[in-house]
Structure 1
Amino acid sequence: MARLNFLEETRFEKIPVSVYENKHIASKMVAKRIAEVILKRQANGSNTILGLATGSTPVQVYDELIRLHKEEGLSFKKVITFNLDEYFPMDPSSKQSYVHFMNEVFFDHIDIPKENINIPDGTLDREKIIEFCLAYENKIENLGGLDLQILGIGRTGHVGFNEPGSAPNSGTRLVTLDDLTRQDASRDFGGKGNVPTKAITMGIGTIFKAKDIILMAWNTKKAAIVMKAVEGEISGEVPASFLQLAENIEFVIDTDAASELTRFNTPWLVKDCNWNEFLIKKAVIWLSNAVKKPILKLTDEDYNNHGMAQLATEYGPAYNINIKIFNQLQHTITGWPGGKPNAIDSQRPERAEPSVKTSLIFSPHPDDDVVSMGGTFIRLVDQGHNVHVAYQTSGNTSVWDTDVLRYVEFTIDFYKSIGVAPEKFEKIYCEMSSFIKNKKPNETDPVEVQNVKAFIRKSEAIAAARYAGLQENQIHFMALPFYDRGKKMKNPVTERDIELTIQLLQKLKPHQIFAAGDFADPHGTHLVCFHIILKAMEKLRKTEKWAQSAWLWMYRGAWQEFETYEVEMAVPLSPQEVERKKDAIFQHQSQKDHPVFPGDDEREFWVRAQERNKKTAENYHKLGLANYEAMEAFVRWKF
């Protein structure tokens, strides 16, 4: 019976999918599978032929294999590897090359013979590529084929570098990279313009020949494409969907990457649910959008016709459910993000007391505060709260090199204008100019250049915070060490980052804390900064009474937005407040027009913020609530 129930849950899934709590557990399971293949082949006196992937997805698999080698004696002497792909052209000594990547994260730490390692050659003359690709295919075939191929999946649905439009029988070849793929790689190359436009990749047909295939995916960034690959139609537009035709395929994913699969996203469509308040709220909002009716107009028939008969039977009639969810949504809306003084707050998202709160806004980069919650920021100040903003990093990687020269040129001219000899600055300027002229993709800037970039962003952050109404003593630049350390180290966060955060929290003792819960940023900085805040608060809550009663609100906006069913506080903005927020964002001149790392959203940050805020308001209105100009959304973190 349990097996039948599981088959019913997964009936939309056309590929076997194993879902693990997190990527750490999943990676260990994949590493175990690889080790079992190696040991079985060794016992037979045979070589193991492995197909390997690059990128962030398999890194922890490689970490676990290294541990198995060093601690449990797993040998790779009889393992022959074939990597999926390599950029073209690409020097193998470049930090962006997959040769460098594989050596750094795996090969240099195990006992595999160098002659057993095969990676596409990014240095070939163009006319020799076809010959090389045929030889690559033949070598795999002559060795008996791949025993196991591990894959990641790109947001275009690519496996290897088989981009949309690839044929299911394609072999190893030269391909042109999709623009989104290049955008995703831009951080490693110091900007999309430095990312190669082509690559050599194994084909889908080559991958299909492997005896076993494991595709891995982690985090919510991959959720949408995983759903398309697993549940969608087979299409060249999503190359990973061709894996539905394979008999030896398994997707190994974490709960975040699984979040859009039907059994997790809309479980009422495939099984009886254990209904709780959160799931009921999500389901009713989904139903309202599905039938295009305001919540209060939903009927029992709507519930029955859309897989929610169980909910209507257990908690109905429909109108009773509708009114409860409508009221819940209505109570998330507040014009008083710091709490309304002298008001009954049982139905409001924030507490009324104390009437004047100390509010601390953490901003991972120097513009996240105004981009994501600029309207609420200004509202808190206008309503008399003691607002502080803390910029956790300098954000100096997101400034164009040309801006550095422009600002130093300004400084030289300024010193000349007031009669101060600028010879020292001119010497530094010449050194900077020479470095920038000869700079390699993603090469680390000298300290002087890093500092100028940091000063540019600092001055912009001060201007924006001042525009929002803060004084100098309410603006804090934390310069958490992990940010610069992370350019050289794999795991840069240390106790020092947490201690600096604790010191600021103890100094201010905030009643409410706002932090970026927008983990889709391409830098990864938001997630790191959030975890540092959590670790700091976990320590403080053990001994500090104020910390035990402090509330932590997460904001989004720069890279994504909360779903309506997730929102616990929605702050409506008038047309005038939308303009004030936009003006605050405009203070960040270095991020206007064309930021260094825009992610896959090419719109300017102020446009993204404005349109996302308007969309949030529209979503509320479609559900039958008031029609506001815009809304900023927040979710409270439960310690």
Structure 2
Amino acid sequence: MKLDHIRYNKPGTFEETRYEKIHNVIFDDSKEPSILVAREIADLIKEKNAKNKPCVLGLATGSSPIKVYEELVRMHKEEGLSFANVTTFNLDEYYPMDKSNIQSYFYFMHEHLFNHVDILPENINIPDGKVSADDLYQYCIDYEKKIKSIGGLDFQLLGIGRTGHIGFNEPGSHFNSGTRSITLDHITRVDAAPSFLGIDNVPRKAITMGIGTVMSAKRIVLLAWGGNKAEIIQKTIEGHITSEVPATYLQNHKNTTFILDEGAATELTRVKTPWLVTSCDWDESLKLKAVVWLSELLNKSILKLTDSDYNNNGMSGLLTEEGTAYDLNIKMFNRLQHTITGWPGGKPNADDSNRPERAAPERKRVIIFSPHPDDDVISMGGTFDRLVEQGHDVHVAYQTSGNIAVSDEEALKFAEITQSLCPNCDETQSIINFLKIKTDNDIDSKKVRKLKGLIRRSESLAATRYLGLGDENVHFLDLPFYETGTIKKNNISSEDVAIMEKLIDDIKPHQIYAAGDLADPHGTHKVCLDALFTALEALKHNDYMNNCWVWLYRGAWHEWESYQIEMAVPMSPDQVLKKRHAIFYHQSQKDGVMFQGDDSREFWVRAEDRNRLTAKKYNDLGLADYAAIEAFKRYHF
């Protein structure tokens, strides 16, 4: 049975989805829908096997389908799902690209699926990234013919790139295009850069199935996870069909479903502005979201909004419920006003009924969890400074070593300095020798990873000392999931969670700060947050946890929307400078940082611009004019 409108449940009503041209289903996260998609594929395999027919699957790479492949592997090992009747065709491959390269899609597919199931090697088809340039044209024609000769694709699994590409069909691709070579868009190469340790190492070309090839599939399922996909998902589902967004061609496919998590769906009209498509159940959060949206849309402060402003923008029902714009405006203005505090740990001996944090206990035990050894100062350096200055017992926990983000050149510099101080140190010499002959496919040795981790540690200690924190309150957790030496990390383990649990249990905090920024381009933030959430779940029955509040900050990539913010900590111009200097201590991450995504600004510049923009948004809504604001959202466990 296919996962159609009924089985995928939770589609919107006709009114809610009237702007949408592709069937889509929204889930809380990627776990449940990945299992459902894997089950649909498994049912298709079994159905075809019962008819003694081959099951032809079109498969995708990237982060989106990984959980689907994990579930298929589980079903093979635990439920006896056989892939003996399965023939696969992968969408694409970088060109040129050797099969043995850990960045190749050949490597990816065997790592995540083929090495773990009983598929016949001769039934695996992945574009050959080493075919000669002279043979490439004919190779692509033959790849296309082979798909057709076996009866076409029964099922095509897709992801989507921020350019709107499916496969590597970049903007400009024709709707009836076939398998071919293509030049990659700059944005696509930027998104791939972290895996290749820099954009200069990303191939400029690829081999890809065409739009026509994809559209010939009998069934298509596209997966999209995370807020960084939200804008292109909205254009694809609600926009006009255009070659500038190749995924929009899927609007013409009769059996396509987009599977989205909440982040990827945030720009859809029924999610972002539901009052424009249907009547709403106006809870307090939705009221604030609507009022902030209207204020920003009309470029008016909240207290200047009128009855006609609400009525003309789909919110007459809200006014009917609230009475007048005047009453609603004051209510929402006060709610935003009460998020602002210069006392992130609570103000002692003060009325805290309208403050985001409690006044008592006056001196709180605080843990700041930082996924990498600089996220603390980049994302909440001003708040960190306030907490220390105001006398709280602050602890910083760096969850990973961050060694992968130290360049080989930086590590070699430190190794050579060490060698000059200790000319006969064999360990240092071995590090120097390794780095001088290292190739792109080599994984750092344990000694090199140790050196790179020590570089990040020394920078972290310099920054925390600058902010007045004693070394005894700085904790380096070095969670094991991270220590692979490659961009691809291990899944979270019980050992990771146990390390988190122990620290929390030792400190018994009143406050925890953690990175809630899931747009991190290589996923470490998400794993670190999952480890925290799992630890909190295990510890929540302890008495001290009843008095522990968790505040989520966002990193260098995005900020909370104004209506999402529950604690806004203003910074003076002097504090902005102090935060900047704390970030500067992370010298290995300045001047050409390896993982900066599609933003060429350095992290300290991004952080300042983001904090200023948050302050400006508050001011535009009619609130006080601050130099900068750091924002937090509370997590309830």
Distance (whole Å) between structure 1 residues aligned to residue 593 and residue 480 of structure 2: 23
Distance (whole Å) between structure 1 residues aligned to residue 76 and residue 469 of structure 2: 56
- Please report how far the alpha carbon of residue 533 of structure 1 lies from its aligned counterpart in structure 2 after TM superposition: 2.2
Does the CA contact (< 8 Å) of 1:569 and 1:633 recur in 2? Answer: yes
Task: Tell me which amino acid in the other structure corresponds to 1:446.
Answer: S
Does the CA contact (< 8 Å) of 2:225 and 2:261 recur in 1? Answer: yes
The question of 1:387 aligning with 2:394 is answered: yes
Distance (whole Å) between structure 2 residues aligned to residue 81 and residue 523 of structure 1: 27
Change (3 A) 1:132 1:523: same
Look up the match of 1:460: 459
The equivalences for 1:471-510 within 5 A come to 471-485=470-484, 487=486, 491-510=490-509
TM-score, normalization by structure 2: 0.94
Task: Tell me which amino acid in the other structure corresponds to 2:608.
Answer: Q
Q: Report the 3-state secondary structure (helix = DSSP H, G, I; strand = E; otherwise coil) of the residue aligned with 2:37.
A: helix
Correspondence for 2:53 among 40, 46, 68: 46
- Please report how far the alpha carbon of residue 635 of structure 1 lies from its aligned counterpart in structure 2 after TM superposition: 0.8
- Please report how far the alpha carbon of residue 183 of structure 1 lies from its aligned counterpart in structure 2 after TM superposition: 2.8
Look up the match of 1:582: 580
Does the CA contact (< 8 Å) of 2:98 and 2:130 recur in 1? Answer: yes
- Please report how far the alpha carbon of residue 485 of structure 1 lies from its aligned counterpart in structure 2 after TM superposition: 4.9
Does the CA contact (< 8 Å) of 2:419 and 2:429 recur in 1? Answer: no
Look up the match of 2:164: 157
- Please report how far the alpha carbon of residue 35 of structure 1 lies from its aligned counterpart in structure 2 after TM superposition: 3.0
Does the CA contact (< 8 Å) of 1:288 and 1:295 recur in 2? Answer: yes
Distance (whole Å) between structure 2 residues aligned to residue 489 and residue 13 of structure 1: 35
Change (3 A) 1:122 1:485: closer
Change (3 A) 1:71 1:500: closer
Look up the match of 2:5: none
Task: Tell me which amino acid in the other structure corresponds to 2:576.
Answer: V
Look up the match of 2:445: 446
- Please report how far the alpha carbon of residue 3 of structure 1 lies from its aligned counterpart in structure 2 after TM superposition: 12
Does the CA contact (< 8 Å) of 2:562 and 2:618 recur in 1? Answer: yes
- Please report how far the alpha carbon of residue 83 of structure 1 lies from its aligned counterpart in structure 2 after TM superposition: 0.8
Look up the match of 1:436: 435
Does the CA contact (< 8 Å) of 1:299 and 1:318 recur in 2? Answer: yes
Does the CA contact (< 8 Å) of 2:412 and 2:435 recur in 1? Answer: no
Task: Tell me which amino acid in the other structure corresponds to 1:134.
Answer: I
The question of 1:280 aligning with 2:287 is answered: yes
Identity, % of aligned pairs? 55
- Please report how far the alpha carbon of residue 215 of structure 1 lies from its aligned counterpart in structure 2 after TM superposition: 1.1
Distance (whole Å) between structure 2 residues aligned to residue 110 and residue 466 of structure 1: 52
Distance (whole Å) between structure 2 residues aligned to residue 542 and residue 487 of structure 1: 37
The equivalences for 1:514-553 within 5 A come to 514-543=513-542, 545-553=543-551
Task: Tell me which amino acid in the other structure corresponds to 2:560.
Answer: F
The equivalences for 1:591-630 within 5 A come to 591-630=589-628
TM-score, normalization by structure 1: 0.94
Change (3 A) 1:34 1:359: closer
Task: Tell me which amino acid in the other structure corresponds to 1:6.
Answer: T
Distance (whole Å) between structure 2 residues aligned to residue 283 and residue 123 of structure 1: 53
Distance (whole Å) between structure 1 residues aligned to residue 46 and residue 526 of structure 2: 38
Change (3 A) 1:235 1:433: farther
Task: Tell me which amino acid in the other structure corresponds to 1:132.
Answer: Y
- Please report how far the alpha carbon of residue 37 of structure 1 lies from its aligned counterpart in structure 2 after TM superposition: 3.0
Stretch deviating more after TM superposition (139-148 or 566-575): 139-148
The question of 1:95 aligning with 2:118 is answered: no
- Please report how far the alpha carbon of residue 178 of structure 1 lies from its aligned counterpart in structure 2 after TM superposition: 2.2
Change (3 A) 1:531 1:240: same
Change (3 A) 1:143 1:5: closer
The question of 1:423 aligning with 2:423 is answered: yes
Distance (whole Å) between structure 2 residues aligned to residue 356 and residue 410 of structure 1: 43
Look up the match of 1:179: 186
Does the CA contact (< 8 Å) of 1:189 and 1:442 recur in 2? Answer: no
- Please report how far the alpha carbon of residue 78 of structure 1 lies from its aligned counterpart in structure 2 after TM superposition: 2.7
Look up the match of 2:3: none
Does the CA contact (< 8 Å) of 1:87 and 1:200 recur in 2? Answer: yes
- Please report how far the alpha carbon of residue 110 of structure 1 lies from its aligned counterpart in structure 2 after TM superposition: 2.6
Change (3 A) 1:433 1:180: farther
Q: Report the 3-state secondary structure (helix = DSSP H, G, I; strand = E; otherwise coil) of the residue aligned with 2:478.
A: coil
Change (3 A) 1:158 1:504: same
- Please report how far the alpha carbon of residue 273 of structure 1 lies from its aligned counterpart in structure 2 after TM superposition: 1.0
Instruction: Mark the runs of 5 or more structure 1 residues left unpaired by the alignment.
Output: 416-421
Look up the match of 1:128: 135
Instruction: Mark the runs of 5 or more structure 2 residues left unpaired by the alignment.
Output: 1-8
Stretch deviating more after TM superposition (212-221 or 156-165): 212-221
Q: Report the 3-state secondary structure (helix = DSSP H, G, I; strand = E; otherwise coil) of the residue aligned with 2:527.
A: helix
- Please report how far the alpha carbon of residue 73 of structure 1 lies from its aligned counterpart in structure 2 after TM superposition: 4.1
Change (3 A) 1:442 1:605: farther
Change (3 A) 1:466 1:227: same
Q: Deviations over 1:286-326 (max 9, x none)?
A: 11111111111111111111111111111221111111000
Change (3 A) 1:387 1:565: same
Q: Deviations over 1:271-292 (max 9, x none)?
A: 1111111111101101111111
Distance (whole Å) between structure 2 residues aligned to residue 45 and residue 282 of structure 1: 54
Look up the match of 1:37: 44
Look up the match of 1:469: 468
Does the CA contact (< 8 Å) of 2:10 and 2:26 recur in 1? Answer: no
- Please report how far the alpha carbon of residue 398 of structure 1 lies from its aligned counterpart in structure 2 after TM superposition: 0.6
Distance (whole Å) between structure 2 residues aligned to residue 284 and residue 182 of structure 1: 39
Look up the match of 2:150: 143
Distance (whole Å) between structure 1 residues aligned to residue 81 and residue 481 of structure 2: 34
Change (3 A) 1:448 1:244: same
Change (3 A) 1:3 1:552: closer
- Please report how far the alpha carbon of residue 487 of structure 1 lies from its aligned counterpart in structure 2 after TM superposition: 4.8
Q: Report the 3-state secondary structure (helix = DSSP H, G, I; strand = E; otherwise coil) of the residue aligned with 1:423.
A: coil
Does the CA contact (< 8 Å) of 2:341 and 2:570 recur in 1? Answer: yes
- Please report how far the alpha carbon of residue 60 of structure 1 lies from its aligned counterpart in structure 2 after TM superposition: 2.3
RMSD: 2.1
Q: Report the 3-state secondary structure (helix = DSSP H, G, I; strand = E; otherwise coil) of the residue aligned with 2:454.
A: helix
Look up the match of 1:419: none
Look up the match of 1:218: 225
Q: Deviations over 1:335-393 (max 9, x none)?
A: 11111111111001111112222222111111111100111111122222222212121
Correspondence for 1:364 among 352, 361, 371: 371
Q: Deviations over 1:31-83 (max 9, x none)?
A: 23223333343344332222111122222222333344444444333322211
Look up the match of 1:637: 635
Does the CA contact (< 8 Å) of 1:405 and 1:429 recur in 2? Answer: no
Distance (whole Å) between structure 2 residues aligned to residue 45 and residue 533 of structure 1: 48
Task: Tell me which amino acid in the other structure corresponds to 2:160.
Answer: I
Does the CA contact (< 8 Å) of 2:21 and 2:237 recur in 1? Answer: yes
Distance (whole Å) between structure 2 residues aligned to residue 442 and residue 184 of structure 1: 19
Distance (whole Å) between structure 2 residues aligned to residue 502 and residue 75 of structure 1: 39
Correspondence for 2:269 among 262, 273, 288: 262
Distance (whole Å) between structure 2 residues aligned to residue 252 and residue 101 of structure 1: 22
Correspondence for 1:399 among 401, 406, 418: 406
Distance (whole Å) between structure 1 residues aligned to residue 72 and residue 492 of structure 2: 24
Distance (whole Å) between structure 1 residues aligned to residue 414 and residue 287 of structure 2: 55
Task: Tell me which amino acid in the other structure corresponds to 1:605.
Answer: F
Correspondence for 1:558 among 556, 561, 568: 556
Does the CA contact (< 8 Å) of 1:190 and 1:442 recur in 2? Answer: no
Q: Kindly tell me the number of residue pairs found equivalent between the two proteins.
A: 629
Does the CA contact (< 8 Å) of 1:298 and 1:318 recur in 2? Answer: yes
- Please report how far the alpha carbon of residue 254 of structure 1 lies from its aligned counterpart in structure 2 after TM superposition: 2.5
Change (3 A) 1:121 1:612: same
Distance (whole Å) between structure 1 residues aligned to residue 12 and residue 223 of structure 2: 25
Distance (whole Å) between structure 2 residues aligned to residue 150 and residue 447 of structure 1: 37
Does the CA contact (< 8 Å) of 2:481 and 2:489 recur in 1? Answer: no
